[in-house]
Amino acid sequence: TILVLDFGSQYTHLITRRLRELNIYSEMLPCTQKLSDLEFKPKGIILSGGPYSVYAEDAPHVDPVAFELGVPILGICYGLQEIAWRHGKNVLAGEKREFGHAGLDVHTENGQVSRLFKDLPNNTDVWMSHGDKLSRMPDGFRTIATSANSPYAGIAHEEKHIYGIQFHPEVTHTPRGVEVIRNFAVGICGAKQGWTMEAFKDKEVARIRKLVGEKGQVIGAVSGGVDSTVAAKLMQEAVGGRFHAVMVDNGVLRKDEAKQVKETLTRGLGVNLTVVDASDRFLDLLEGVSDPEKKRKIIGNTFIEIFEEEAKRIAKEAELTPHAGPVEWFLQGTLYPDVIESISFKGPSQTIKTHHNVGGLPEKMKLKLIEPLRELFKDEVRAMGREMGIPADLVGRHPFPGPGLAIRILGAVTREKVRVLQQADLIFIEEIRKAGVYNDISQAFAALSGDRAVGVVGDQRLHGYLVFLRAVQTTDFMTATAYEFPPGVLTKIVSRIGNEVEGVARVLYEVTSKPPSTIEFE
């Protein structure tokens, strides 16, 4: 394990990400972590960047034990200053902020470059983002690299295996950065590059078995999305029938979704799944409600109510099952980006937030939380899903919002509108798959306008539905651009929707970026 201590830089999670890409196991903890009571012995420690000045009164500092563990340390940016500060307060408040690309000159000593820069060219492009810089070399250290603005862009205490760099090797703007990270983790720390999805899965299955015990039972919700499906499959492998998956059909799912999820999870993956058809209950409650936030609330709250009822029923049945204990655990498919919030260092005075979970369900139901995917990024979950034999189209599926089609029907939801939208959406996605562009698009869906549009069918003027189509490309869903379809694809889609979905008068393709638009319509 390489331990990453977070000083609050916006890039810290990229360090763990890069290590993971090198198949090296890493854990990230806040910089204030007491190191004497760690449950594992790290092979090396990386001190991240951070927004502070080491001289600031409330500046965070690493547990001095770090320097006594005898393991190699790499300080990045603030981490470098922290090392220098620990070794005699050699840091100067920078007069000039340095931000952006810089050329790094790698130094040689007796014809050799530092082990940290092994196989790097003598001059290489790096990314800088700092205010303070070193004023003087701490005792026992030497310069291993410089840049035009930073005479101490890289320092090393080779005997103690302590290294510091002013630039950020973890960002893609530092093209050879991954090699620096590998030189440190593998070359200097001796970390093994054996961390694979399979190893991760085995470790997680073993951990769950130990946690839940011989008799413990687990409950969890599935949606048909990749995260909850992978989590459910993992749990099934760990505890088999003592895992009870629940899917709530809220009446605003995609066409035939509940049926397909049941088929894939039960028959395909062997998961013990109950589908609760609560569509009438949801659709009745949604009647006449046009405020999107109200719609979201109704769907969220009703989901919780139904899940609780179902959990109670399962718990009661479970009590009657011989050789099984009570339902005590709640499975949640939380991913790493959701937990970064709660494990990042947020500054000395701020309390660390715990991340949100499904409407506080586990707490309310007095269940203990299991989150087997909490260390993974989305693409890693997908890789694991593929390895577990989950069908490719499910693994690569576009995200679907919890409130479902309710926030894609502008204004009040009716059963008729749900029917029209489900059909239009199905055709849209079918044609996207046929054109072979599904994987080029991050999210595609149809939506329905609240107003009617004028059209003509046969000889009759028709006041029909107005269907919007949206397909976007994005990496983080925070910003997005509209997808440019190959010629002919949209025309075909529009013609099929017009011909096959009764009551549609017009179909529009929306090309606004986010911002100013959002991905969803409400």
Q: Which of 26, 30, 5 is nearest to 16 (CA)?
A: 26
Q: Which of 13, 69, 15 is nearest to 37 (CA)?
A: 69
Q: Of 56-64, 147-155, 413-421, 511-519, which segment contacts ligand XMP by CB under 6 A?
A: 511-519
> Which residues, including other chains, have CB under 8 Å from residue 363's CB and lie 6 or more apart?
357
* Least distance between ligand XMP and beta carbon 351 (Å): 26
- Catalytic option among 168, 179, 431, 522: 168
- Determine if residue 229 is labeled as part of a ligand binding site: yes
d(CA 282, CA 248): 10
Examine the residue annotation and report whether 380 is marked as an active-site residue of this protein.
Answer: no
Examine the residue annotation and report whether 168 is marked as an active-site residue of this protein.
Answer: yes
Q: Which of 65, 41, 37, 47 is nearest to 11 (CA)?
A: 47
How far out from the chain centre does Cα 7 lie? 20
> Which residues, including other chains, have CB under 8 Å from residue 506's CB and lie 6 or more apart?
453, 455, 464, 465, 466, 467
User: Which single residue is written with the structure tokens 């989590």?
Assistant: 231
* Least distance between ligand XMP and beta carbon 440 (Å): 16
d(CA 432, CA 504): 20
Q: Which of 82, 43, 52 is nearest to 195 (CA)?
A: 43
Considering the complex, state which of residue 135 and residue 517 has its C-beta at the smaller distance from ligand XMP: 517
- Determine if residue 474 is labeled as part of a ligand binding site: no
* Least distance between ligand XMP and beta carbon 426 (Å): 17
* Least distance between ligand XMP and beta carbon 221 (Å): 12
- Determine if residue 150 is labeled as part of a ligand binding site: no
Q: Which of 254, 521, 301, 278 is nearest to 411 (CA)?
A: 521
Interacting residue with ligand XMP among 63, 125, 387, 520 (CB under 6 A): 520
Interacting residue with ligand XMP among 443, 464, 494, 506 (CB under 6 A): 443
- Determine if residue 111 is labeled as part of a ligand binding site: no
SS3 content of the chain, % helix, strand, coil (to 5): 35, 25, 40
d(CA 346, CA 173): 25
* Least distance between ligand XMP and beta carbon 336 (Å): 17
Interacting residue with ligand XMP among 88, 148, 396, 477 (CB under 6 A): 477
Interacting residue with ligand XMP among 275, 324, 482, 519 (CB under 6 A): 519
Strands (E), 386-521: 443-457, 460-473, 481-482, 504-509
Range 264-303, binding ligand XMP (CB under 6 A) = 296
Range 14-73, binding ligand XMP (CB under 6 A) = none
Range 392-421, binding ligand XMP (CB under 6 A) = 399, 401-403
d(CA 108, CA 115): 11
Number of residues that bind ligand XMP (CB under 6 A): 11
Considering the complex, state which of residue 107 and residue 398 has its C-beta at the smaller distance from ligand XMP: 398
* Least distance between ligand XMP and beta carbon 399 (Å): 4
Site for ligand XMP contains 514 (CB under 6 A)? yes
- Catalytic option among 170, 204, 310, 380: 170
* Least distance between ligand XMP and beta carbon 404 (Å): 9
- Determine if residue 248 is labeled as part of a ligand binding site: no
Considering the complex, state which of residue 2 and residue 221 has its C-beta at the smaller distance from ligand XMP: 221
Contact map string, positions 71 to 110, toward ligand XMP, x by CB under 6 A: ----------------------------------------
Q: Which residues pair with 145 in a beta bridge?
A: 106, 154
Q: Which of 63, 1, 62, 57 is nearest to 28 (CA)?
A: 1
Active-site annotation, residues: 77, 168, 170
The contact set with ligand XMP (CB under 6 A) reads 296, 399, 401-403, 443, 477, 514, 518-520
Q: Which parts are annotated binding residues for ATP?
A: 223-229
